[in-house]
A and B are shown apart, each in its own frame.
Chain A
């Protein structure tokens, strides 16, 4: 990106197996999850993942606009992923583009498969993901934030959905690509999974991997998701553990 020209490809992996940012092959970047930072939304979450900063807000279930999207047997899940103009080095032209539409779509579909939408017919559950600062892996960070925000909004669903990207860098399979690895590596494989059932609800790939590498990458991703999952749960526990339902004492 920006200052790094295509000519000077950085050394992505040291002979000792240490990555550009000092991580081992199967190490995540530092991850911080905060549940419920916003008060106007029904649910919200903030995720700081390496140099990524992502805010997610959830509204609903609420009336569907425009009306014709309404489904009379279940709620619809709408997602809008957006990158702020200032989220990258070179100012990004604000608004919808092909990339953000694609990401919005795959994230909405990931959530459709876990949300119990039949409980709220003719309504919409709206998920907004705003990337404030980007450094590779924003679709995973956005999905993680949105999933915590959905739980914060009290939306019924099968499970939280942790996500992580695995990739291939300098011939090795590595967990959680950063920007340099994403740009100059050989493959990128974002995935999201439902821990309760073990099902994958998002899996995309850019670049090339052999069959063996793919299966190794998936194993590594599942382990990474488990760590992310624990952080998501800790964030929600942190916000709600002090709470008691008013009904108990009323």
Chain B
């Protein structure tokens, strides 16, 4: 981790997962006992016979009065207010179903769009495979995820490509106060929209998209190591890029969800 710095505000907003530096941050696996010191079992834990155990793989965090485990893996868990990128998986008479990488598909009702949609004419606006930026509006106990497309920066995504990273890495993609995403955009000339569900929409020249893809890949695989900002700037910045990285061949015109190129051997090495 890079720092003694206190975590910055904003980036993740609201109930700020970032803002409590307390807790010992040890890695626990499901079934391992967590010393609770009288704290109540929170998310990612369960209690049997007065003892607290982890239920997911993650890091222990004390949030009095709770002790919880922050998961290190798993699907995107929606939160109200999050901007997410999705693809249309089904079209019904009055709504669309979106895959946002969450456990369930999210219904987008026709009234949640900036358009005047007639019943039965939903497929004139969005079709299966189209990509959209939406905001999570309400979460029901049934697991239903309500989303809306009315708001700044929301709508259908045209052109460009979507690159997927782990949802847990999104704060790193954004950077403190948006610093990371701004420097990636200005160094590559690409235009980006980041979804909290780990999907990043990128538009620009094929060359720019290729470089953003490499930067995101480093953040995804290697984002937990210190000096991330410097490594990204080295990759994209003043130094001649072909010294640092093998150039990707210009990717073929990609549409919709591009499959992330994430199964290479190990994190790319840094010279």
Residue contact A245 to B143, C-beta cutoff 8 Å: no
Contact with A along B57-92 (1 / 0, CB 8 A): 111000000000011111100000000000000000
Counting chain B CB atoms within 10 Å of each CB, which of A152, A159, A246 scores highest? A246
Residue contact B73 to A237, C-beta cutoff 8 Å: no
CA distance A246 to B18 in the complex (A): 9
Residues of B within 8 A of A157 (CB): 30-31, 55-56
List which A93-138 residues lie within 8 A (CB) of chain B.
Answer: 116, 120-123
Residue in chain A with minimal CB distance to B262: A39
Instruction: Count A-side interface residues using an 8 Å CB cutoff.
Output: 43
Does residue A4 face the partner (Cβ distance < 8 Å to B)? no
Partner of B30 from A123, A158, A247, A248 at Cβ < 8 Å: A158
Instruction: Count B-side interface residues using an 8 Å CB cutoff.
Output: 49
List which B162-185 residues lie within 8 A (CB) of chain A.
Answer: 168-172, 174-176
Residue contact B53 to A120, C-beta cutoff 8 Å: no
Residues of A within 8 A of B143 (CB): 120-123
Residue in chain B with minimal CB distance to A60: B103
CB distance from B60 to the nearest CB of A (A): 11
Residue contact A247 to B17, C-beta cutoff 8 Å: yes
List which A138-189 residues lie within 8 A (CB) of chain B.
Answer: 151-160
Does residue A211 face the partner (Cβ distance < 8 Å to B)? no
Does residue B233 face the partner (Cβ distance < 8 Å to A)? no
Residues of A within 8 A of B58 (CB): 154, 245
Residue in chain B with minimal CB distance to A59: B75
Does residue B223 face the partner (Cβ distance < 8 Å to A)? yes
Residue contact A122 to B73, C-beta cutoff 8 Å: no
Residues of A within 8 A of B269 (CB): none
A residues near B (Cβ < 8 Å) are 39-40, 42-43, 60-63, 72, 75, 116, 120-123, 151-160, 194-197, 233, 236-237, 240-250
Q: Could you jot down 27 A-B contacts, CB within 8 Å?
A: A40-B263, A42-B75, A72-B142, A116-B46, A121-B142, A122-B142, A123-B104, A151-B29, A153-B73, A154-B57, A154-B73, A154-B74, A159-B30, A160-B29, A242-B225, A244-B59, A244-B224, A246-B169, A246-B172, A246-B223, A246-B224, A248-B1, A248-B7, A248-B18, A248-B21, A248-B59, A250-B8
B residues near A (Cβ < 8 Å) are 1-3, 5, 7-8, 11-12, 17-18, 21, 25, 27, 29-31, 44, 46, 48, 53, 55-59, 70-75, 103-105, 142-143, 168-172, 174-176, 223-225, 262-263
Beyond known contacts A248-B21, A250-B172: 9 more, CB 8 A cutoff: A43-B73, A122-B143, A157-B55, A158-B46, A194-B31, A197-B48, A243-B224, A248-B7, A250-B18
